[in-house]
């Protein structure tokens, strides 16, 4: 049986892990970023690894799935399954794509069972159609130990925010941010990998051409969290030091850290054993909005963590979300003030995207379009640009941040246009996702135990 994993446009870590698991189980498996390559490879089974809700509406992916199925020599002799973060809403996946089943949640074990035995209610963590009904079986957490990932030859040419690849040190997050699907997908209990296994994997990535890596896993400093109920600082430092010895400190980054899980020791380790940046999800300068977002931290905690990092010589990137349901102009102005006051080194602005199944998606469904910044026409300073309120705030905050950074950028025409284009693109994407969400309102299917 020839299996091709299709991970559109980039090799996700999850797709490489599943590839490694299948290879180790004896399957003939390859991994590609390009659906056209998969069609030419003569696959019997396609595993579509999808990480964005927008993939469900991508004509290239939709057509590929339909063409693969209709190309069967006889009904049932080919199969196409979908996995990845979008498996958190299997009803929408099965409604939008012509596929046989969805591998729900962590797929390491259920994918092997599915390939060996075919679709069955006895396999945990899959969803499929049975006449008019959608059957979903309850996913189980996979074992945290696993074989070496399937690493493609051209991994060294990939760039995800500057890194060739992300690697996973642990799964789960104890946070409950309303816009995030990590706790639902991986659970709220932290499961950490052993350092020797992580290092062996990094050495293999390096041998395959990876020069820069980023550590993912929700919030990096939660590595080995659990036994003491607080950050395991020594384990995190040991981990960073071991990774830096393989890659060199300037080739390692820890992109996402919660402000309430850093202290001086953690920040000094980030300074010494990584490229020296932290990226905090600050989200808003308004305590009201932080509560609505369920961040579990307030403005004071955000400012404290920023200043602590700056005192430790660590550069600080901040992520912000605009256009959340209920965000008033006053809330938005507080976010602008926070950016003015904190001299961040870099800023990322996102329009709130309602990933199906999150608390945010429920809020968006309860909000009438006339009160949702994603659809409200902006009538203020940028009226002539015909933006929505979310787009205008995204554009305005991005420009504002460029001028308030520790080293301000000069606002050139190309920079202005790039910020405008990005805000429009984000606004369009979030509108599309919101319409998809509304289309499946109330269709949530129940898992079988
Ligand atoms: S801390 Fe990060 S990973 Fe955890 S729930 Fe919040 S956004 Fe998600």
- In the predicted model, residues of the chain with pLDDT beneath 70 are 71-77, 217-218, 227-228, 444-449
pLDDT at 217: 60
CA distance linking residue 426 with residue 431, whole number of Å = 9
Ligand 1 neighbour 249 (Cβ under 6 A): no
Residue 182: CB within 6 Å of ligand 1?
A: yes
What digits encode the pLDDT tens for the residues 60-86? 999 998 888 776 554 456 899 999 999
Q: Selecting from 3.30.1490.20, 3.30.230.10, 3.40.50.2300, 3.40.50.280, what CATH number does the domain 2-142 have?
A: 3.40.50.280
Question: Candidates 3.40.50.300, 3.30.750.200, 3.40.50.1820, 1.10.10.10; correct CATH number of 276-444?
Answer: 3.30.750.200
Cβ-based burial of 410 (10 A; exposed 0-12, middle 13-18, buried ≥19):
exposed
Domains 2-142 and 276-444 share a fold: no
Spatial separation of the C-alpha atoms in residues 193 and 183, rounded to whole Å: 17
Say what the pLDDT of residue 74 is.
47
Ligand 1 pocket, 175 CB below 6 A? Answer: yes
Token pair in block for residue 361? 């998606």
Any ligand 1 atom below 6 A from CB of 219: yes
pLDDT value at position 447?
A: 65
Q: Atom 1 (ligand 1): residue with closest C-alpha?
A: 175
**Most ligand 1 atoms within 8 A of CB, residue of 174, 176, 178, 180 to mutate:** 180
Report the length, in residues, of the chain: 449
393 lines ligand 1 (CB under 6 A): no
CA distance 146 to 342: 42
Q: Which pLDDT score, from 0 to 100, does residue 327 have?
A: 96
Return the number of other C-beta atoms located less than 10 Å from residue 65's C-beta: 21
Nearest residue (CA) to ligand 1, atom 4: 175
Give dist(CA 324, CA 273) in Å, integer. 36
Query: Residue ranges of the domains in the chain?
Result: 2-142, 153-261, 276-444
CATH topology for 153-261 is Transcription Regulator spoIIAA (3.30.750)
Q: What are phi and psi of 368, to 5 degrees?
A: -65, 145
What's the angle, vertex CA 123, arms to CA 122 and CA 125, rounded to 5? 130
Strand ranges for 169-212 from DSSP E: 170-171, 191-192
């Amino acid at each position: 049986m020839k299996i091709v994993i299709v991970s559109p446009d980039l090799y996700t870590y999850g797709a490489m892990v599943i590839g490694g698991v299948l290879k180790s189980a004896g399957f003939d498996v390859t991994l590609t970023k390009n659906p056209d390559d998969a069609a030419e490879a003569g696959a019997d089974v396609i595993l579509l690894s999808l990480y964005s809700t927008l993939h469900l509406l991508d004509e290239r992916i939709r057509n590929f799935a339909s063409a693969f199925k209709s190309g069967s020599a006889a009904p049932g002799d080919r199969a196409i399954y979908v996995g990845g973060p979008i498996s958190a809403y299997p009803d929408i996946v099965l409604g939008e794509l012509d596929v046989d089943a969805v591998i729900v949640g962590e797929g390491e074990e259920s994918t092997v069972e599915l390939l060996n035995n075919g679709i069955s209610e006895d396999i945990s963590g899959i969803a499929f159609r049975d006449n008019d009904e959608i059957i979903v079986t309850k996913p189980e957490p996979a074992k945290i130990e696993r074989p070496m990932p399937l690493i493609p030859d051209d991994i060294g040419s990939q760039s995800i925010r500057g890194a060739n690849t992300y690697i996973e040190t642990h799964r789960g997050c104890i946070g409950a941010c309303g816009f995030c699907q990590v706790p639902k997908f991986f659970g709220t209990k932290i499961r950490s990998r052993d350092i020797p296994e992580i290092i062996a994997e990094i050495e293999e990535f390096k041998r395959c051409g990876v020069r820069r890596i980023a550590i993912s896993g929700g919030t990096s400093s939660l590595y080995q969290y659990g036994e003491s109920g607080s950050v395991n600082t020594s384990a995190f430092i040991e981990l960073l030091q071991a990774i830096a010895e393989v890659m060199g400190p300037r080739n390692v980054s820890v992109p996402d850290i919660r402000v309430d899980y850093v202290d001086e020791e953690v920040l000094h380790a980030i300074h010494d054993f990584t490229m020296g940046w932290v990226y905090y999800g600050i989200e808003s300068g308004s305590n009201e909005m932080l509560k609505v977002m369920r961040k579990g931290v307030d403005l004071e905690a955000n400012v404290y963590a920023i200043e602590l990092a700056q005192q430790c010589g660590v550069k600080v990137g901040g992520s912000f979300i605009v256009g959340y349901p209920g965000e008033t102009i006053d809330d938005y102005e507080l976010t602008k003030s926070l950016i003015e006051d904190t001299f961040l080194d870099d800023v990322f602005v996102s329009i709130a995207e309602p990933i199906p199944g999150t608390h945010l998606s429920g809020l968006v469904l309860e909000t009438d379009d006339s009160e949702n910044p994603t659809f409200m026409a902006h009538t203020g300073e940028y009226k002539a640009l015909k933006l929505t309120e979310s787009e205008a705030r995204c554009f305005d905050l991005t420009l504002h941040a460029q001028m308030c950074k520790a080293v301000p950028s000069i606002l050139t025409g190309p920079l202005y246009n790039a910020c405008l284009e990005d805000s429009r693109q984000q606004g369009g994407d979030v509108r599309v996702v919101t319409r998809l969400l509304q289309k499946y309102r109330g269709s949530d299917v129940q898992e079988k135990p």
